[in-house]
Structure 1
Amino acid sequence: MTRSIMKHMNVPNYLWGEGVRHSTYLINRVATRTLVSQTPYEVLKGKRPSIDHLRVFGCLGYAKTDGPHLRKLDDRTRTLVHLGTEPGSKAYRLLDPVTRKVVVSRDVVFDENKGWKWNTTTNENSEESGMFKLSLGLYGNNGLREEEEEMEQEQNNDGSMEEEDIEEEEESPSETETEQVQDLLRRSTRISKKPGYLDDYVYLADVEGERLLLLINDEPWDFSEAIEEKVWKDACKEEIASIVKNNTWELVDLPLGAKPIGLKWVFKIKRNSDGSISKHKSRLVAKGYIQRHGIDYEEVFAPVARIETVRFIIGLAASNDWEVHHLDVKTAFLHGDLKEVVYVSQPEGFVIEGSESKVYKLNKALYGLKQAPRAWNEKLNKVLGELDFVKCSKEPSLYRKRKNHGLLLVAVYVDDLLITGSKTEMINEFKAGMSRKFDMSDLGLLTYYLGIEVFQFNGGIMLKQEGYAKKILEETKMADCNAVQSPMDAGLKLSKAQEERNIDEKEYRRIIGCLRYLLHTRPDMSYSVGVLSRYMHEPKESHQAALKQVLRYLKGTFSYGLTFMKTRHSELVGYSDSSHNVDIDDGRSTTGHLFYLNECLITWCSTKQETVALSSCEAEFMAATEAAKQAIWLQELLAEILEKASEKVTIRLDNKSAIALTKNHVFHGRSKHIHKRYHFIRECVDNGQVEVEHIAGSLQKADILTKALGRIKFKEMRELIGIQDLKKMEFKIKGENVEVNLEDNLVHKLN
């Protein structure tokens, strides 16, 4: 559209910015493919836009001149070029092609059939040819919004004209008149200071984009919109009731010199794993971004359970046939005790009559405060200590309790608690104890946690992210694409490819970020997504093509996931591998390792090595050291939980030279340059913490994490590490074998 409107009136290219702005203005007021019966403006504002004021871009406009000291024969109009509507006002933007200055005026008469003859006024030899200077004053237009009511009255209002850069008239008046004009137009020498309310200035387009997303999700933007619906009004009342019940604040007079922190209502629709609405949640949030360190808060860090810790707990529970339960603490942050004195203003819609000038002094934390997560964590840590729980030193968010030869484990992720143990009685006792301390939501057996779908059955537990995978495909418009059998072609060599054309960097990063969260249950995609993550800066067309193949692979495997089965023996086994010199740009190798707890895949990693390896033996040795670090952590965590002596962790390699290098100082001539930090595995082997074994390359499970494999080999390795189609597994568990049913139906039809 920009090119069309500029070529129609032969507008020069240096005005491309004005053309883009006017095109955007028009697109927001016409129908689109997505919004058939409405315009984007109508969706956002809730009313039809007025288009009576629109004029042809680049046409001639005659603006009224009403400057001081006009003589009788002076022109009363100026011939200018129309550049669209001025943002934040009801005036037109006009360009003087001679002086290249922008004029803002409401009193304009247009001739939409004529355009300016640019060749007669453009000086191509000028040093500033093609440059267009625009000044909006010191503070711009202050983010003023355009009101539709003003646009409708535009034709009836008297005009006035403003010029952004004022220069002297070309004709020379008398000396007396010149002195009067200079005195009248003299610029003030006072130093202007930027007002404080512009410190947090944001672009109007970003705010409108956020509001449009909220409209799509049926979530109100602010309290004035939410109060119109009963469901949101009840949610706000419930939030205030929780605050009052917990004795979170008390109404006081604001002390002299103290500044209250503002409050804001945030509205969110919580959904289940299938997309259905779970509840309408209103949250009163403090504007903690104005807090100052050392005055309003001190420490803010609060530990949360890592995803690999969650898989560790689920794997331990599945192998021992334990149940995993889920608890949620209602308004968790409101229970944290504050050490600092904090004042907040009264919330919108709940201002107490007769006490409008008073503020609330917080006794406990409030959502939005920087210290709120830490205050809640300290409160929860104290309560769990009273219930005889002990915090694990290797995982601060994991607590354990021993009672009558029974074990109970609790993993904490903010206000979500994962509970598992050897005895159901201990789990029920813990739930009752927590209910006496906090207002709890007992969600029963774990079914959905941080976007991960959990299916517990007799003899095991399944983990998948099917709903999240479908959402990724829908957002990337790949839901109807053709599926492929591998995420990356074997032998594909990606590089920075400086000669290729750039793609949308923001969209590329967004998709990669979504896929990286999907890796919590999909180690088969770790290598391909990890390689694409290396090109977040200036991605090229080849990276986009590889990314689309990953999405096509996801299309055919979105129901795949992990299965943790019950086992009789207990062991911790790891696999380590590397691919030598696979990165074209810097020649570094890729490390991959994965660990099994009682035959349950609990942790894995695929990453590029920090230094260049000069041989495959050196690359394997460096990869084994990284695996040993993970093995020691898992070993000590398992020993601390089970309260028994730790056993050796077995790490399996497919390179005999690297195995020999881990046990003794051989090949000194080829290994003397290896950094001493990578000799950590030798110490682990000498201390009896790690045992290194050789395994055939065809059975090396970590091979899928280090290189792109062919379709047949990839499928074999995927099944070998334990990735399965969980939809078929669910049918088999429920006794509904689809394939058998289809065969029976076919035989019945033939008969």
Structure 2
Amino acid sequence: MTTKRFLTTLARRPPMRRSKNLHWNRTPTNTSDNHSVHEAHMSTLPKDTATATSHIDILPDSVAESEPVKNVSDQELLLINRFDNKNSDKFPSTEAMKQRRTKLFLKEFASITRRPLKSRKRELTTLDLEEFEAAEEQKKKIKLRSVQAVNKIRTLYFKTAITNNTDVRERKLFSEAFEKELQNLLKMQVFDTSISIPRNQVPANRIIPLQTIFTVKRDGTHKARIVCRGDKQTEATYSNYHTDLLQIDTLKLFLMIANNRKMWIQTLDINHAFLYADLREEIYVPLPHDRRFVTPLKKALYGLKQSPKEWNEHLKKFLNSIDLDDSRHTPGIFRNHDYSIMIAVYVDDCVIAAKSQELLDEFGSTLRNRFELKIIGKMNQGILRTDVLGMDLDYNIDEGKISLSLQSYIESIENDWLDKISHIKTTSIPHVSSYEHNIKNIDSMDTKTRSKKINELQKINGVINYIRSRCRYDIEFAANKLARSVNFPADNVFYMADKLMNYIFQTKSEKIVFTRETTDNPAITLLSDASLGTEHDMKSRMGIMLWYGENLYKVISRASSAVRNSSTEAELDAIYEGSKEAYYLKKILEEMNLQKDPTVISITDSKPSIQYLKNNYNSNRRDRFLDLKLAKLEERIRADDLLIYKIAGTDNIADVLTKPVSCEDFKKLRSSMQNKLTPKDILTITDPGEFHSPSSSISTIS
């Protein structure tokens, strides 16, 4: 931090410009005021240094001839000396460097004092110096944090990354990344720079500006990506851009199938995926080197609304041409007729599975002949450790076991949260004991404060929801309760969020485990529970756990769609919603020709619900929509398409998803995630439910 920077900042004047008619006087200025300032400062310097720089030789005639500059105040001179002395350790103590330091100071100080006093706003104070130094220290800390943030993803724009970047090394890396991206676009024939059309010769609504986004990845790699400003698109440049993507639940089913069939697995990325797809619409973009001209856009460049759809259709057409088909209910999964090869695709991330390593290599070569690939994870001696869609994937083909966790991701964000949650004690459960909202404290907030706190809660909820949606079934209840509380930014809600984050960091290695099935016809088992009127709007909360065979496939905790009048209605609603998920999974299995008519089993702790479904009891007090749901359940039960069983309330694991529970009860959910507690274990403690004996369903699973 230089003296000039400090003085010019606090003097609050625009930088001085040199006039064309200005000539520089190389003789000492005779202005007494300037001499007094010069002599006052020279008295603080070593004698030999003062002799070497005995005059100020940079003042223009125009300044010398103007009205005399008044003396700089003693307070300002004191601040200058104090500031200068604080930074003296930055200069070596050699004689030559002392002289250089003195010359630099005199030159910089003269740049402030050579203007009339009327151009200066006010005298400098001690407070000014302290505030300025504090601001500079804060800037240093921010810069230091950005350098040390290895696990963060930094996103910058052209002006910050290159034009105004003072870090020479980083500017060079970003420049190289930008040049590489531009050459790649030309190589992929995204546009042809030899075609240049004046902007006024094409419709303005078909010109979409480009923007370059620079990114520093977690591993320190500097990347540049040239994208279209999709927010500037008009309806003339796109039509229907909806497309279905691979769902996380479908990916889990893909991994279960691959494990059950003892398949070899590999993960890879398709580089520049969107750029392989042709663009149908007439769109123009500015030329990178001359924005007065535009050129036609030929490929589905990143940022366009229709780019994901065009890429998905392009990839689907290619995979279909090599006899790999998908289905309506499993977008993103392609397989051949005998399931010797499968591939799951999410945009440009791919997981491929094959019956042997040779088939896997052969299929990889087929993809490589068409696309530019990057292998991410490859099996070594029957073991695969890689990352897929942000999750850590471990697969052992000999043991028949797959695990998914988020340990790497959680560790990458841990340092950002440690200070915020330091006041939270170590806990073995993610939820709090009470979820009541303090409405009085919220109503007393002003609009600005409340909006700011809601925004902060929404950011925290976004991180938690990402973790929940991947593979952390254990936070399903707590995360959903927090999501319903973001509009109530009271202190207890922030405590709720902090405790949940603390639990996540304490259990960052938590994972879900899929084991290989021992039967060719696994059953679909659902366990449901409900709590009446426990939400702030008096709705009920339902909890659903869904297994495919012995593996926990899906966990749901959510509020009911409407207020229920009794606990029986709430339980029946939960059974119906769970059966809907079960029959959707059944439809997927049948559509993929994996299993014909798998058994669906429902387990509940509500005896009145079972009696209602058995006796076909009708009541005018219920609403029509609930009656329609129950009629569907009765129809499936009468057709022996749905088997229903009764379990004791104390043994119902789904209770964890409806209300706060003890640590011991919560452990049951974590055990089921690790495949230590399976439907086979649960069915051995159920009652027949006056429909079927549990022994028949156990034989189906085992």
Do the structures match in fold with TM over 0.5?
yes
Contact kept? 1:578, 1:591, Cα under 8 Å: yes
Looking at structure 1, the residues matched to 4 and 533 of structure 2 have their Cα atoms a distance apart, in angstroms, of 61
Aligned twin of 2:606? 655
2:210 alignment counterpart: 263
Closer, same or farther: CA 694–247 of 1 in aligned 2, 3 Å: same
Instruction: Return the match for 2:490 from 540, 543, 547.
Output: 540
Q: 1:486 to 1:112 in 2, by over 3 A?
A: farther
Q: Does residue 1:307 correspond to 2:248, yes or no?
A: yes
Q: Which residue does the alignment assign to 1:39?
A: none
Superimposed CA distance per residue, residues 301-352 of structure 1 (whole angstroms, 9 cap, x where no aligned partner): 22211111112212332344333321211001111111112221222xxx3x
How far off is 1:548 after superposition?
Answer: 2.3
2:180 is aligned, of 238, 241, 248, to 238
Contact in 2 for aligned 1:478/1:552 (Cα 8 Å): no
RMSD (Å) for aligned C-alpha atoms: 3.7
Deviation at 1:598, TM superposition (A): 2.5
Q: Distance in 1 between matches of 2:532 and 2:114?
A: 73
- Aligned partners of 2:274 and 2:300 also within 8 Å: yes
Partner of residue 374, structure 1? 309
In the alignment, the residues of structure 1 paired with residue 649 and residue 673 of structure 2 have an alpha-carbon distance, to the nearest angstrom, of 14
Q: Deviations over 1:351-376 (max 9, x none)?
A: 3xxx8864332221111222211111
Letter in 2 for 1:684: R
CA contact (8 A) 2:472 2:511 kept: yes
Contact persistence 2:286–2:292 (CA under 8 A): no
CA deviation string 1:534-564 (max 9, x = no partner): 1111310111222222223223211111111
Is the Cα–Cα contact under 8 Å of residues 263 and 346 in structure 1 kept in the other structure?
no
Do 2:515 and 2:675's aligned partners in 1 also have CA atoms closer than 8 Å? no
Aligned in 2, Cα 1:266/1:623: closer, same or farther, shift over 3 Å?
same
Following superposition of structure 1 onto structure 2, how do residues 142-541 of structure 1 map, counting pairs within 5 Å? 156=115, 221-222=157-158, 223-224=162-163, 225=165, 229-250=171-192, 251-254=194-197, 256-259=201-204, 260-271=207-218, 276-277=219-220, 279-293=221-235, 295-347=236-288, 351=289, 358-402=293-337, 405-445=338-378, 447-457=386-396, 458-476=399-417, 477-478=419-420, 482-490=425-433, 492-495=434-437, 497-499=439-441, 504-519=453-468, 520-541=470-491
- Deviation of residue 472 (structure 1)? 4.4
Which secondary structure state, in structure 1, belongs to the residue aligned with residue 330 of structure 2?
coil
Q: CA deviation at 1:415?
A: 0.9
In structure 2, C-alpha distance between the alignment counterparts of 1:154 and 1:313, rounded to whole Å = 75
Q: Distance in 2 between matches of 1:466 and 1:651?
A: 33
* Identical counterparts, % of pairs: 25
The alignment partner of 1:282 has SS state of strand
325-334 or 668-677: which moved more?
668-677
The match for 1:638 is 589
Is the Cα contact below 8 Å between 1:406 and 1:423 reproduced in 2?
no
Contact 2:213 2:227 in 1 (8 A): yes
Q: Given the two structures, how large is their TM-score scaled by the length of structure 1?
A: 0.64
Distance 1:410 1:683, change over 3 A: farther
Distance 1:213 1:316, change over 3 A: farther
Q: Is the 8 A contact 1:319 1:600 kept in 2?
A: no
Q: What is the deviation of 1:661?
A: 2.9
Q: 1: CA distance between counterparts of 2:414 and 2:297?
A: 45
Aligned counterparts of 1:396 and 1:709: Cα–Cα separation in 2: 37
CA distance in 2, matches of 1:244, 1:374: 22
The answer for the alignment partner of 1:174 in structure 2 is none
Please give the secondary structure, in 1, of the residue aligned with 2:404. Answer: strand
- Check the 8 A contact 1:392/1:640 in 2, yes or no: yes
Which residue is 1:25 aligned to? none
| 8 A Cα contact 1:572 1:650, kept in partner | yes
Q: Indicate if the aligned counterparts of 1:524 and 1:723 stay in contact, CA closer than 8 A.
A: no
The farther-off stretch of 684-693 and 427-436 is 684-693
Contact 2:515–2:551 at 8 Å: present in 1 too? yes
Deviation at 1:435, TM superposition (A): 1.2
Q: Tell me the distance in 1 between the aligned counterparts of 2:664 and 2:542.
A: 22
Question: CA 1:53–1:611 in structure 2 vs 1: closer, same or farther (change >3 Å)?
Answer: same
Contact 2:344 2:351 in 1 (8 A): yes
Q: In 2, distance between residues paired with 1:577 and 1:234?
A: 58
Separation in 2, partners of 1:602, 1:47: 65
Deviation at 1:440, TM superposition (A): 1.3
Say if 2:616 and 2:634, in contact at 8 Å, map to a contact too. no
Q: Are the equivalent residues in 2 in contact too, given 1:248–1:334 (CA < 8 A)? A: yes
In 2, distance between residues paired with 1:474 and 1:631? 40
Where does 1:71-150 land on structure 2 (aligned, <5 Å)? Answer: none
Question: What are structure 1's unaligned runs of at least 5 residues?
Answer: 1-41, 57-106, 114-148, 162-208, 725-751
How far apart, CA to CA, are the structure 1 residues paired with 2:645 and 2:554? 19
CA distance in 1, matches of 2:356, 2:407: 31
Residue 547 of structure 1 aligns to which amino acid in structure 2?
A
CA distance in 2 between counterparts of 1:413 and 1:154 reads: 64
Q: 1:55 to 1:391 in 2, by over 3 A?
A: same
- 8 Å CA contact retained: 1:563, 1:600: yes
Q: Which amino acid aligns with 1:261?
A: I
Task: Check if 1:590 corresponds to 2:541.
Answer: yes
Is the CA contact 1:387–1:433 (under 8 Å) kept in the aligned structure 2?
no
- Unpaired runs of 5+ residues, structure 2, are 13-68, 76-107, 121-140, 379-384, 677-702
Deviation of 1:47 after TM superposition, in Å, equals: 11
Instruction: For 1:701-740, list aligned pairs within 5 A.
Output: 701-722=653-674
Over 3 Å counting, the alpha-carbon distance change for 1:262 and 1:616 in structure 2 is same
TM-score, normalisation: structure 2: 0.68
Q: Would the alpha carbon gap of residues 470 and 327 (structure 1) be closer, same or farther in structure 2, given more than 3 Å must change?
A: closer
Structure with the higher helix share, 1 or 2: 2
Q: CA deviation at 1:421?
A: 4.1
The letter of the residue matching 2:439 is: A
- Asked if 1:619 corresponds to 2:570, the answer is yes
Q: Post-superposition shift, 1:723? A: 7.5
- Give the drift of 1:494: 1.9
SS in 1 for 2:556: strand
Partner of 1:68: none
Whether the aligned pair in 1 keeps the contact of 2:576 and 2:633 (CA below 8 Å) is yes
* Structure 2: distance between partners of 1:288 and 1:521: 32
Kindly state the Cα deviation for residue 243 of structure 1 after the two structures are TM-superposed. Answer: 1.9
Aligned to 1:695: 647
| Contact 1:496 1:535 (C-alpha < 8 Å) held by counterparts | no
In the TM superposition, residue 417 of structure 1 has moved relative to its aligned partner by 1.5
Counterpart of 1:580 in structure 2 is 532
Cα deviation per residue 1:221-274 (whole Å; 9 max; x = unaligned)? 424349964433333333233222322222313161344433222122333xxx
Aligned partner letter, 1:398: I
Deviations 1:189-210 (A, max 9, x none): xxxxxxxxxxxxxxxxxxxx99
